[in-house]
Amino acid sequence: SQKIEQNSEALNIQEGKTATLTCNYTNYSPAYLQWYRQDPGRGPVFLLLIRENEKEKRKERLKVTFDTTLKQSLFHITASQPADSATYLCALYNFNKFYFGSGTKLNVKP
Amino acid sequence: EPEVTQTPSHQVTQMGQEVILRCVPISNHLYFYWYRQILGQKVEFLVSFYNNEISEKSEIFDDQFSVERPDGSNFTLKIRSTKLEDSAMYFCASKLENTGELFFGEGSRLTVL
């Protein structure tokens, strides 16, 4: 089955800097890949979707890249704010199933 | 803004008991999912449901589990003979299109004693 790797160590950055989170996967490339935000005790909230034929997607301060050769997606938050502190999950979609990574916790310090 | 609602928010049960977790997906959505998240671990796929039948299920979703959409609005997950290791947050999710974002509910926390 699909294996998804996200950095399990928390990412600590200073407010205003750019946060970059990584999602690597093994096996087959997904039809598309999504990024979600999860706050403690809450359900994941959709942020961005990128398809296998797209290289980059942007939404406000968020940017996602997708490299099917490297089997990797990068998620960037520019001009980060303390309110961006959360766990960020990447999810791969294939065959009517979403596989989630374990998430990376982002801490943005004021 | 439409949302997925789940009840109960928290259920405590004794080992061996049956529980039913309920979900009301967004009304015009067509695809429905149950996921679970054991504390501190990743979100795990349990089952997907489309056109009134299961379309995919994981190895976790064994005979202990079942899903139903009894009345066209509710989407339920039944767990028979609960075990300690069933303690987790259970999330319901729905989406409109085959290729689309998942909308998650706030989850039902199940504690098995």
The DSSP secondary structure of A76-92, one letter per residue, reads EESS--GGG-EEEEEEE
The yes-or-no verdict on residue A29 having pLDDT over 80 is: no
Q: Looking at chain A from residue 42 to 61, which residues have their Cβ under 8 Å from any Cβ of chain B? A: 42-46, 49, 51
Measured distance CA(A21)–CA(A7) in Å, rounded: 8
Burial (Cβ within 10 Å: 0-12, 13-18, ≥19) of residue A22: middle
**Side chain identity at residue B107, one-letter code:** G
pLDDT tens, A63-85?
Answer: 999 998 899 999 999 999 999 99
pLDDT of residue A1: 65
- pLDDT confidence band for B112 (50 / 70 / 90): very high
Measured distance CA(A64)–CA(A51) in Å, rounded: 11
pLDDT tens, B71-91?
Answer: 878 999 999 999 999 999 999
The yes-or-no verdict on residue A99 having pLDDT over 80 is: yes
Measured distance CA(B84)–CA(B110) in Å, rounded: 10
Nearest to A97 among B56, B89, B104 (CB): B56
The yes-or-no verdict on residue B99 having pLDDT over 70 is: no
pLDDT of residue B62: 92
Bigger pLDDT: A47 or B98? A47
Mean pLDDT of B7-15: 97
Measured distance CA(A74)–CA(A93) in Å, rounded: 16
Taking the Cβ of residue A93 and every Cβ of chain B, the question of whether any pair is shorter than 8 Å is answered with: yes
**Side chain identity at residue B5, one-letter code:** T
Measured distance CA(A99)–CA(B1) in Å, rounded: 26
pLDDT of residue B113: 96
- pLDDT confidence band for A97 (50 / 70 / 90): confident
pLDDT of residue A63: 97
Q: Does residue B94 contact residue B29 with C-beta atoms inside 8 Å? A: yes
Q: Looking at chain B from residue 29 to 68, which residues have their Cβ under 8 Å from any Cβ of chain A? A: 31, 33, 35, 41-45, 48, 50, 55-56, 58
For B17, the token pair is 């008991």
pLDDT of residue B108: 98
Q: Does residue B10 contact residue B113 with C-beta atoms inside 8 Å? A: no
Mean pLDDT of A55-61: 95
What does the CA dihedral A91, A94, A97, A102 come to, rounded to 10 degrees? Answer: -30
Neighbours of A24 (CB within 10 A): 17
DSSP A83: G
- Mean pLDDT, chain B, rounded, equals 93
**Side chain identity at residue B78, one-letter code:** K
Nearest to B56 among A95, A100, A102 (CB): A95
C-beta atoms of B106 and A91 within 8 A: no
